[in-house]
Amino acid sequence: MKSKTTILIAILALFTTSIQAQTEKSKETVSPKIFVVLDITVYDTIMYEQYRIKVEPIIKKYNGKYLVRSGGMAFDKDPDKKVIPGEGNWNPNRLIILEWNSMEELQKFINSAEYQKVAELRKNSASTKSVIVKENLTD
């Protein structure tokens, strides 16, 4: 009887330790997402469309993901993509929100030779205001 109790206690201890290890591991692997919010005013729609087409696969390559793409540009097939102003006087011509899993992934994208080459198209066809924000996982 004593050996069965000892075995049962050992199994429970092992099970508890395993659950604790998995819980700690899951805490470590959950990191906040990084979001880039861009307010873009397009001056040359033809050049900007070239940028948009060329940047999409680069964003994917560096694990970026579009969450919002709006602005009702001439090349947008969906009229519902138009930006609808809310409070204040903010009415972006084009609003983009991108997501990355980490700041490191975003930095690799920004610093990549592929993006730097394509970014010139955006810089020459539009003015851009942007912010980078980190997801809040504590609420």
Which strand (E) or helix (H) includes residue 128? strand 126-134
* Average pLDDT taken over every residue of the chain: 81
Local structure of residue 82 (DSSP, 8 states): -
d(Cα 38, Cα 48) in Å, to the nearest integer? 14
Q: What ranges do the domains of the chain cover?
A: 1-30, 34-134
- The pTM assigned to this predicted structure is 0.71
For residues 43-54, give the mean pLDDT: 93
d(Cα 52, Cα 126) in Å, to the nearest integer? 12
Q: Which of 100, 95, 101 is nearest to 130 (CA)?
A: 95
Amino acid 101: pLDDT:
94
Fold type of domain 34-134 = Alpha-Beta Plaits (3.30.70)
Q: What is the pLDDT of residues 121-134, one digit of tens each?
A: 999 999 999 999 99
Question: Which residues 6+ apart lie within 8 Å of 23 measured at CB?
Answer: none
Q: What is the pLDDT of residues 18-36, one digit of tens each?
A: 455 555 555 556 788 999 9
